[in-house]
């Protein structure tokens, strides 16, 4: 006997959850059930109400600021639940009305039609590591903003340093700046203290990442990725924290498309038009890869400092990393002869993902 299935769309907010139900069958009416409180007790009552009659429940909701709590609670109760990528939800171009009710109904209908793209949901330990990595990224961004504010303040007052900024000489120059009015000196010192506090925050979070990564289930992948040129500990942790277990990607092309490093395309009939990269998914991963790709502009070699990271990786990872270095260094020189350097670096970053995927497959083989 066929199983009766109900597809439930949830529009999740901080205080409430809008609920809509689409029963199995593509032409059935989608029913809006109203709103419930966004807490575990109210969600359990909703599930108990919907499960009456022995129907199988399949939930979905958009990824957003409320996290994965709803997914984990429903999954723990034995119900199927997916978290949907908002950028991949099909939308009508002419639709200009957006309400919680319409969003819930739309999600239920699309879930029934099989047109939703789920995101990967990390476990709690992986999410904790990702939060730590993102906290460090926020600290780095705050430090850059603080330094820019300090330099902007000095520039407004005609103070220019001719040399490398933030070197010891520059810091000594900053300490020697004097303003005629006490308020100006107070502002200068406050900017300097803000820059120092941001730097200390970054250093503190970096130490915490180094301490926590040893206990992480994906630590072997972090170690293996450091065999690649341009990938040190923090870069490897960022990539693994944001991408997760690489064995969930069936091919390098799938991983490249996921990260958004493949060319966009608008083709019609015999005409093919390709543009810049799609920039889907995680921007931090793309930025990290592009920064790492710059290291391939030099000839292939392994420095004494890098050798320690290479020796720590397993043999298969070392072989893939060296193969990547030889290929990508040669490719950089070949492409740099006729293309803008940013295009070349982006192409190198895209190919790096292929080798990163290969290392991930060696550390965590793809299930048959």
pLDDT under 70: residue ranges of the chain: 1-3, 26-27, 365-368
Per-residue pLDDT, 368: 43
Per-residue pLDDT, 26: 59
Interval 75-103: pLDDT, tens:
999 999 999 999 889 988 888 899 999 99
Per-residue pLDDT, 245: 83
Q: pTM for this one?
A: 0.89
Per-residue pLDDT, 324: 97
The full DSSP string for 130-188 is: HHHHHHHHHHHHHHHHHHHHHHHHHHHTT----S-TTSHHHHHHHHT---SSHHHHHHH
- Using CA atoms, how far apart are residues 351 and 353, in angstroms rounded to an integer? 5
Per-residue pLDDT, 187: 97
- Using CA atoms, how far apart are residues 155 and 151, in angstroms rounded to an integer? 6
């Amino acid at each position: 006997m066929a199983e009766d299935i109900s597809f439930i769309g949830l529009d999740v907010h901080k205080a409430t959850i809008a609920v809509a139900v689409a029963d199995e069958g593509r032409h059935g009416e989608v029913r809006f059930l109203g709103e419930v409180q966004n807490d575990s007790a109210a969600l359990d009552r909703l599930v108990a109400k919907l499960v009456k009659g022995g129907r199988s429940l399949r939930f979905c909701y958009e990824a957003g600021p409320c996290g994965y709590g709803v997914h984990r609670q429903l999954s723990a109760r034995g119900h199927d639940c997916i978290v949907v990528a908002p950028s991949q939800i099909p939308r009508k171009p002419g639709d200009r009305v957006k309400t919680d009710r319409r969003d819930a109904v739309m999600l239920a209908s699309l879930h029934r039609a099989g047109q939703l793209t789920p995101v990967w949901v990390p476990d709690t330990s992986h999410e904790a590591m990702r939060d730590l990595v993102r906290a460090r990224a926020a600290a780095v961004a705050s430090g850059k903003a603080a330094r820019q504010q300090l330099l902007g303040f000095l520039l407004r007052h005609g103070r220019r340093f001719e040399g490398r900024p933030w070197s010891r000489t520059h810091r000594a120059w900053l300490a020697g700046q004097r303003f005629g009015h006490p308020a100006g000196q107070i502002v200068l010192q406050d900017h300097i203290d803000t820059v120092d506090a941001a730097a200390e925050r970054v250093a503190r979070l970096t130490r915490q990442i180094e301490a926590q990564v040893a206990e992480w289930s994906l630590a072997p992948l972090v170690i293996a990725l450091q065999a690649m040129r341009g990938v040190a500990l923090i870069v490897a942790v960022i990539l693994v924290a944001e991408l997760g277990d690489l064995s969930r990607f069936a091919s390098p092309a799938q991983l490249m498309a996921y990260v958004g490093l493949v060319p966009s395309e608008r083709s019609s009939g015999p005409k093919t038009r390709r543009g810049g990269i799609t920039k889907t998914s995680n921007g931090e991963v793309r930025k990290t890869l592009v920064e790492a790709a710059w290291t391939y502009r030099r000839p292939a070699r392994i420095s004494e400092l890098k050798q320690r990271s290479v020796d720590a990786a397993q043999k298969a990872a070392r072989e893939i990393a060296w193969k990547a270095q030889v290929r990508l260094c040669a490719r950089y020189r070949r492409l740099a002869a006729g293309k803008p350097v940013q295009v070349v670096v982006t192409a190198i970053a895209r190919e790096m993902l292929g080798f990163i995927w290969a290392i991930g497959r060696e550390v965590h083989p793809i299930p048959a």
